[in-house]
């Protein structure tokens, strides 16, 4: 069963809340980044108004929703991490790539393949998404579960809903997005019969090995191991199936090669290398499907590069007779 937030029903209310939040955020002094004391959203009028909107749109218990909103805490570190880099800082593809395409990542990817080969191939057969894409995503996102995030998701999403950095160029749109995700978190908690405070994830609210946002969890996560529940923290089969399902939903085309390093006819994207010559990176339609997971071209290229490197390492091990055929 799937539950979905009525984003359009909330949209106009959120716009009104955003106008109030913009004015309030200029007057209310928040704790400095790194401050130790805690600021609760219990008395935040926008938070309570959003709680009432969620109650109405999702048919949740009003007292319960308001109680969860009162439990949410302001996290200065989240604001700091979401604040845009200074204008003029150049991106560097070579440096970015070097963070992910390393022996440690590749070896971890090969180990994950060896432990889940049958499931990865079943996901490819069912969803048309090759193992290298799933391996690339799980590697870049969390190094195969090594770093899933330690932030309380309720706090992260509340902070980004009501105290999003003022200097961000797309602040209003991002606030609306995170308020929707905060609503989805409460829906997910009800569906899973879990305390919303128990969810841990990234500073942006992403959870599990694949780092699904609450809305993605509700829309695309699947029970791929058949145990009657979806678990993206412990079930590697569910992780694999859910990532593959996500890409199929966004139009991944299995008939395209989609491997890094091949010359596609469609297009290239330019990746900066600091002060050096930019890289003209070859892309196809599937490249842009990957950007639905994360909009950064650098991210999508890193997923392809890591997945390709893992695939090559697996092929080499098979040739050496060290891997299962």
Using left for φ > 0, alpha for ψ between -120 and 50, and beta otherwise, residue 315 falls in alpha
Q: CA angle 289-290-292, nearest 5°? A: 70
Cα atoms in the Cβ-side hemisphere of radius 13 Å centred on 28 = 17
Where does residue 49 fall: left (phi above 0), alpha (psi -120 to 50 degrees), or beta otherwise?
alpha
Q: Quote the CA–CA distance of 261 and 259 in Å, as a whole number.
A: 6
320: CB partners within 8 A, 6+ apart: none
Joined tokens for residue 302: 């890193």
Spatial separation of the C-alpha atoms in residues 101 and 107, rounded to whole Å: 10
The answer to whether 324 touches 127, Cβ cutoff 8 Å, is no
Catalytic hit among 58, 124, 141, 181: 141
Distance CA(188)–CA(154), nearest Å, equals 12
Would you give the distance in Å from CA 171 to the centre of its chain?
18
Task: Give the residue from 172, 116, 171 showing the smallest Cα distance to 145.
Answer: 116
Could you write out the three-class secondary structure of 26-56? HHCCCCCCCCCCCEECCCCHHHHHHHHHHHH
272 carries an active-site annotation: no
Which residues are catalytically annotated? 141
């Amino acid at each position: 069963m799937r539950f979905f937030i009525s984003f359009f029903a909330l949209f106009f209310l959120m716009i009104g809340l955003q106008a109030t939040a913009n004015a309030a955020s200029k007057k209310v002094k928040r704790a400095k980044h790194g401050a130790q004391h805690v600021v609760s959203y219990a008395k935040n009028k926008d938070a309570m108004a959003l709680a009432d909107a969620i109650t109405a749109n999702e048919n949740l218990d009003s007292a319960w929703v308001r109680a969860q909103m009162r439990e949410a805490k302001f996290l200065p570190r989240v604001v700091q991490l979401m604040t845009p880099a200074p204008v003029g800082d150049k991106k560097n593809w070579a440096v970015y790539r070097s963070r992910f395409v390393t022996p440690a990542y590749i070896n971890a990817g090969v180990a994950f393949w060896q432990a889940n080969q049958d499931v990865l191939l079943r996901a490819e057969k069912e969803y048309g998404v090759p193992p290298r894409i799933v391996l690339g995503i799980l590697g870049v996102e969390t190094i195969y579960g090594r770093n899933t995030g330690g932030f309380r998701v309720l706090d992260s999403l509340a902070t980004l809903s009501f105290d999003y950095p003022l200097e961000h160029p797309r602040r209003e749109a991002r606030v609306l997005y995170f308020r929707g995700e905060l609503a989805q978190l409460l829906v997910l908690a009800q569906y899973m019969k879990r305390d919303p405070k128990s969810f841990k994830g990234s500073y942006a609210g992403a959870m599990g090995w694949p780092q699904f946002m609450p809305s993605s969890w509700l829309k695309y996560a699947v029970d791929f191991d058949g145990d009657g529940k979806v678990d993206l923290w412990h079930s590697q089969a569910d992780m694999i199936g859910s990532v593959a399902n996500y890409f199929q939903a966004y139009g991944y085309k299995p008939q395209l090669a989609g491997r890094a390093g091949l010359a596609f006819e469609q297009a290239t994207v330019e990746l900066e290398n600091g002060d050096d010559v930019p890289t003209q990176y070859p892309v196809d339609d599937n490249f842009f499907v990957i950007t639905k997971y994360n909009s950064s071209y650098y991210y999508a290229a890193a997923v392809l590069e890591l997945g390709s490197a893992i695939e090559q390492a697996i092929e080499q091990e098979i040739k050496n007779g060290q891997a299962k055929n």
